[in-house]
Structure 1
């Protein structure tokens, strides 16, 4: 399974290696035959050939020694000394030939052990001769010693490696056995030499002679049956020679001879003459049979050499040619595959995405020009290229369909979002009218809740607009204070009461970015509130820095894993293409799109309090210092209106949580300039922790102008210009009795302390007061807006 997934180069390399190993095996099989032939020739020339003369000399020395001991002579004669010298010379030549380096390398372990045995026996020859010369060895013992030395030679012959050809090996073993048969007759001759020298048999000697003669005849007959036809015919002719016939006749006479009663029927001279002739002719016939075996082996050896040349030489050339062809073919194949791969990668990584993107943007694309067909010939790789061309055309067609489908889905989302946005705007207008008319605190509370839900629905509709790739319709022409921008974001958060707003400084945000920044902060604050425990607060703070303005949103939740933080930051910094399926975190995608639109940097990091801190860096071109905190008519910015309270000496408790949340800045098309005459309205004071509390909807800052009298209301007394005081959070202080009619105003309060008065009021009373405050504020805003329209109509 692993080899199936290997590369083409690895597979070709494995094929070359297997081919090389196959050649090596075939060459070794043939080479082994040649090596065996070489080793056999080396052993034959270094061991066998030198041993045969030595063996003959030992046989002759044994015969002369047997005759010497049979005659009972004490001193060895000259013939024995001369024979011993011939034996020593043959021994020296044998030792010299067998000690060669080539012979030692060609011998196997078995032949080496047999050769060492022969050398050991030859070393004992000197001791045997001394025992014979000293008279310690008799006839039988001397013959036994020589027989032992000669037998070691035949054991060495049996250890010579055979030919791989079975017929040749069989013929070689048969000739070796025939040579051993000659040794048996030589022992018989040596035994009779001693008998003739002594003049007669003993019973034991006669038994030994009969046994040796019987073994010779039996071995000769059995060995001749194993010879080839021509070799057997040669030995049969040899058996019919006069010397062999005479030897057989004399053997028969000696076998029938009674060892104790009769003299020997055969003379020693005649036996020696015929026996030497028999041994000589038998050696000649055996050597001729060996020559014929060599002639039969020669073609076998030539065949081995030829096979060795073919397997070793031509096979090696074939392997080299195969390797070269495989390498060149592999290189060409890999080059074509690499070209095809590069072309496919270029198409899939560069051209095809660009074509799909352009098709997605609605451009007309010439597919044949932008993604030309791949041409790699008509071979198998070319056919793969043609198949890839088909895949390419199908992929482009599918991509075009998918791009059109995504564009259609985005258009559907945008259409639905625009419709929903319009309906939500109308709903907010209706709710605003109802809130102005309502005086019942409980009903007003429910209307405020509906108002808040509608604002959140508007943000969800704007999310769909952002997902579809468009911009929400809410825009501002003028700058808005940063604190009002953050309040507008809080108005779109469900659990806004858990958000603590820190001082934001006198900084304004340019109008073109107000809507998107409110939306972005609302998503981040909503995320922080949703993923933190309900008993914790989310803190929002801001300050000017060297690169712009930084807003930090810190929650006290469980936090995020480092890898999740990295993934979220990467998603925000480099937003991927929006997919309809599998998008679980739409908020991050919306934030990334809004931040990308204005080059806003949004970074998530771990909070030291446990949780997550979001750092929003607004670039310098989006923020400005606010040199005039109180804008006048004709100013260059518009802001979330603040109320103009009267002079205050103390603060009132915050409103109950059921009051309305802060309202976002109104869109540019809904913003109107109020009359220049200030209309003081009481405002709630925030709690010391600066957390936004439910409060009345802020109204635009009034400008100096005569205020119209509200409809169905008692005309109010002219208001006195008041001095505004604010809390550390930037909210106006509410002053008791600042808006009462002169007739109702009590200059000498009966209550010594307003705190005690607050303590005596119930929550229901406070809620009723705040509801009346809200309704009055909204009526005042309506009257001021109507007055402004009348003035503008009169000027026109």
Structure 2
């Protein structure tokens, strides 16, 4: 799978994930409200009701404990025994409530529903309950006072009410406010229970101490204030609480409270019967009021609860359906898009890697190419991707058509190269034949020198013309039927460069090169020698040598010039190993390009290396299949400079030429001449009447040299390459 396809899928997945995240957030908010309803019900049944039962049991035990301690202080044995029995029963009820409470709040449902604050309050209440047995023991042993015992039980009840505060929470602000005020009213009943415990102890003891009177007044004030605060937050429930708060039961009990407060410390302010007759109806009416107000709150919370359930269904249910539908639609759409994109990608890849290269190969082979067949239209539908596909169809048709036009342009340029090169070749070969005839007729040494220079210049022009043929992919035209000695090839290559007088030839082992490769190898070596001469100081020499190796014959061209960096050497060797297609702008290394093409034609290996003398050494490895054998040793003679001719005035200033060692055919006999012209050709001096014998020797020497040159060209004319121009089948 391509990276673009992966990114497309990743983007679609990201959009789906974003949609799912939005749905999850909305669902969470809605579900949280639904869970709040569920947790409220769970907390009410698993925490609230057991805590309420425990609080009532503790309140009753508190009152019974106060009565028992008061009777014990008074010394009333009979009444104390009865109070003890009632206290034990209250303690038993409290223990049962504690057991139920602990089992309920430690259940799984309660732990899931309770908050951290609720859990902390439950832990605090549990710690107070753990201290209850020790408090009972101290009370039974008479080690604590009645006020301390009632304070302990009041603290336990207070922790219970703190638990009520943590579980009375609703998402609706109005409902939550009602629950808070209902809890405040409920605390008013707790204060009534504290009054009951205090006065019950006072009645049992038969005396009302100043501290107890002050505590009673404080509790009464707090109880009435708490009730007023609670009903103030329930303005819509006046019809429910006003009849109770203004009713006879609560009014009679408040009158009794006022009487006790006004009476102050002293004897018991009221009898037990009167206290119970006033307290119990008031307490019952307030308990019923709490129930009525709670029912009204539940009725008011029904509407928001229903809306929460509706939102839960819409957000969690319909939202989930929408998300699932979006996912399915996105997946199917993504698959369709990815499929179309894959088709478009495969078509582009096939065009770039298969069809266009195939078209180029066919065009290079000269075949005709049908553009419509090579660029068929692509069907992608009528959507946006289909429109992109239609545009790509036009693009690929244009690409194929441009490739055809470019191939035709290159073919035309190549044909122009070939035509110009062939014409230049014909003219140059005609010029060379004309120069040969003139050299045979001229006897004046000065004229002969000029003719030799023109002959050499024409030979170089012929090589430049052959470069055009190499660039166009055609053959140069020069060919031999019989093998040619490598020494002659080296000599012919050096004769095609300008500074041939700076070249030192060391033929090495005798070998012959197959005739079909002679012309290209001469051209290849001439390019290498010319590069060596061009990048060497004019006072240095270039050494050319050859040697037989196990895989063929090696020729080395070594200069002592400027050299090349490692990066340039690597780049040049790569160009020689695999010459690219020639471009009209590739003129910087034209010689290396021609060498690479010629070497590639005959599987010759050419490599450039750094020379020990600072220059560059070009190594040419001719394969064994092109080496036809060794000529007889009797036919080879190594000639060195031995004959010195009289000096001749130079035509132009030049540096002294290095001697050249040549391996040539022994027939016709040739004498080596060391005096040369500025171009490096042998010098024939002007006629001198005082030295007729010397002139005859020079004329004979030049005649022998011309006969040897004519003989070599005649052999090339006898065996021209097949399908080539006979006029081009000469060698220099």
* Deviation readout 1:109-166 (Å, 9 max, x if unpaired): 3222211211222233333334433444334333322222221222222233723232
* d(CA) in 2 for partners of 1:222, 1:160: 20
State which of 236, 241, 251 in structure 1 corresponds to 2:257.
251
* d(CA) in 1 for partners of 2:494, 2:709: 24
Equivalent residue runs for 1:275-354 within 5 Å: 275-297=279-301, 300-301=304-305, 303-304=307-308, 307-308=311-312, 311-312=315-316, 315-354=319-358
1:236 maps to what in 2? 242
* d(CA) in 2 for partners of 1:477, 1:783: 17
Structure 1 residues 203 and 780: alpha-carbon distance in aligned structure 2, compared to 1, 3 A threshold: closer
* d(CA) in 1 for partners of 2:427, 2:355: 43
1:588 has 2:589 as partner: no
* Deviation readout 1:676-713 (Å, 9 max, x if unpaired): x98755323799xxxxx945399xxxxxxxxxxxxx99
* Deviation readout 1:254-304 (Å, 9 max, x if unpaired): 3333546xx777544222222122222222221333344345445655654
Structure 1 residues 593 and 41: alpha-carbon distance in aligned structure 2, compared to 1, 3 A threshold: same
Deviation at 1:504, TM superposition (A): 4.2
State which of 165, 170, 176 in structure 1 corresponds to 2:177.
170
* Deviation readout 1:610-643 (Å, 9 max, x if unpaired): 6654443334554323546789xxxxxxxxxx99
Contact kept, 8 Å, 1:485 with 1:664, in 2: the verdict is: no
Equivalent residue runs for 1:422-501 within 5 Å: 424-425=428-429, 433=438, 437=442, 439=444, 451-501=455-505
- What is the DSSP-based 3-state SS (H/G/I as helix, E as strand, rest coil) of the residue aligned with 1:159? helix
Contact kept, 8 Å, 1:43 with 1:107, in 2: the verdict is: yes
Q: TM-score, normalised by structure 2?
A: 0.81
- What is the DSSP-based 3-state SS (H/G/I as helix, E as strand, rest coil) of the residue aligned with 2:74? coil
* d(CA) in 2 for partners of 1:107, 1:243: 38
Structure 1 residues 662 and 377: alpha-carbon distance in aligned structure 2, compared to 1, 3 A threshold: farther
Contact kept, 8 Å, 2:369 with 2:404, in 1: the verdict is: no
2:722 maps to what in 1? none
1:7 maps to what in 2? 7
1:651 has 2:657 as partner: no
2:374 maps to what in 1? 370
- What is the DSSP-based 3-state SS (H/G/I as helix, E as strand, rest coil) of the residue aligned with 1:162? coil
Deviation at 1:183, TM superposition (A): 0.9
Moved more, 98-107 or 371-380: 98-107
Q: TM-score, normalised by structure 1?
A: 0.75
1:400 has 2:407 as partner: no
* Deviation readout 1:23-52 (Å, 9 max, x if unpaired): 433333334334444443333323221111
1:683 maps to what in 2? 672
Deviation at 1:67, TM superposition (A): 3.6
Equivalent residue runs for 1:175-194 within 5 Å: 175-194=182-201
- What is the DSSP-based 3-state SS (H/G/I as helix, E as strand, rest coil) of the residue aligned with 2:628? strand
Deviation at 1:323, TM superposition (A): 3.5
* Deviation readout 1:453-507 (Å, 9 max, x if unpaired): 4433332232123213333344445443221111111122344345432234433
Aligned residues: 690
* d(CA) in 2 for partners of 1:779, 1:621: 33
Contact kept, 8 Å, 1:644 with 1:680, in 2: the verdict is: no
Contact kept, 8 Å, 1:491 with 1:664, in 2: the verdict is: no
1:29 has 2:34 as partner: no
Deviation at 1:199, TM superposition (A): 4.5
Deviation at 1:528, TM superposition (A): 3.7
1:512 has 2:501 as partner: no
Moved more, 218-227 or 20-29: 20-29
2:604 maps to what in 1? 600
User: Counting helix residues as a fraction of each chain, which structure ranks higher?
Assistant: 2
* d(CA) in 2 for partners of 1:92, 1:12: 57
1:150 maps to what in 2? 157
- What is the DSSP-based 3-state SS (H/G/I as helix, E as strand, rest coil) of the residue aligned with 2:379? coil
State which of 272, 276, 285 in structure 1 corresponds to 2:276.
272
Q: Structure 2 unaligned runs (5+)?
A: 648-654, 716-732
Contact kept, 8 Å, 1:501 with 1:541, in 2: the verdict is: yes
State which of 668, 682, 691 in structure 2 corresponds to 1:696.
682
State which of 503, 507, 512 in structure 1 corresponds to 2:507.
503
* Deviation readout 1:355-401 (Å, 9 max, x if unpaired): 34545665433211232122222222221111012112322333333
* Deviation readout 1:197-231 (Å, 9 max, x if unpaired): 4445444433332232222222111211212624x
* Deviation readout 1:175-213 (Å, 9 max, x if unpaired): 222211211222223223233344454444333322322
* Deviation readout 1:424-450 (Å, 9 max, x if unpaired): 556656766479747566x87676555
1:119 maps to what in 2? 126
Equivalent residue runs for 1:208-227 within 5 Å: 208-227=215-234
State which of 383, 389, 398 in structure 2 corresponds to 1:385.
389
* d(CA) in 1 for partners of 2:379, 2:620: 53
Structure 1 residues 532 and 254: alpha-carbon distance in aligned structure 2, compared to 1, 3 A threshold: farther
2:719 maps to what in 1? none
- What is the DSSP-based 3-state SS (H/G/I as helix, E as strand, rest coil) of the residue aligned with 1:7? helix
Structure 1 residues 16 and 534: alpha-carbon distance in aligned structure 2, compared to 1, 3 A threshold: farther
- What is the DSSP-based 3-state SS (H/G/I as helix, E as strand, rest coil) of the residue aligned with 2:167? coil
Q: Structure 1 unaligned runs (5+)?
A: 632-641, 666-676, 688-692, 699-711, 715-739, 746-767, 789-796
Equivalent residue runs for 1:527-546 within 5 Å: 527-531=531-535, 538-545=542-549
Equivalent residue runs for 1:518-667 within 5 Å: 518-531=522-535, 538-545=542-549, 547-555=551-559, 567-604=571-608, 612-625=616-629, 627=631, 651-652=642-643
Contact kept, 8 Å, 2:185 with 2:227, in 1: the verdict is: yes
* d(CA) in 2 for partners of 1:25, 1:558: 77
1:763 maps to what in 2? none
1:66 maps to what in 2? 66
* Deviation readout 1:691-736 (Å, 9 max, x if unpaired): xx945399xxxxxxxxxxxxx999xxxxxxxxxxxxxxxxxxxxxx
1:760 maps to what in 2? none
Deviation at 1:515, TM superposition (A): 1.8
- What is the DSSP-based 3-state SS (H/G/I as helix, E as strand, rest coil) of the residue aligned with 2:22? helix
* d(CA) in 2 for partners of 1:331, 1:663: 79
1:99 maps to what in 2? 106
Contact kept, 8 Å, 2:506 with 2:662, in 1: the verdict is: no
* d(CA) in 1 for partners of 2:505, 2:598: 22
* Deviation readout 1:577-603 (Å, 9 max, x if unpaired): 211124532222212222233343334
Contact kept, 8 Å, 1:659 with 1:695, in 2: the verdict is: no
1:671 maps to what in 2? none
Structure 1 residues 339 and 606: alpha-carbon distance in aligned structure 2, compared to 1, 3 A threshold: farther
Alignment RMSD, CA only?
4.4
* d(CA) in 1 for partners of 2:220, 2:375: 104
Structure 1 residues 277 and 546: alpha-carbon distance in aligned structure 2, compared to 1, 3 A threshold: same
Contact kept, 8 Å, 1:655 with 1:684, in 2: the verdict is: no
Deviation at 1:782, TM superposition (A): 10
Deviation at 1:65, TM superposition (A): 3.0
Contact kept, 8 Å, 2:30 with 2:308, in 1: the verdict is: yes
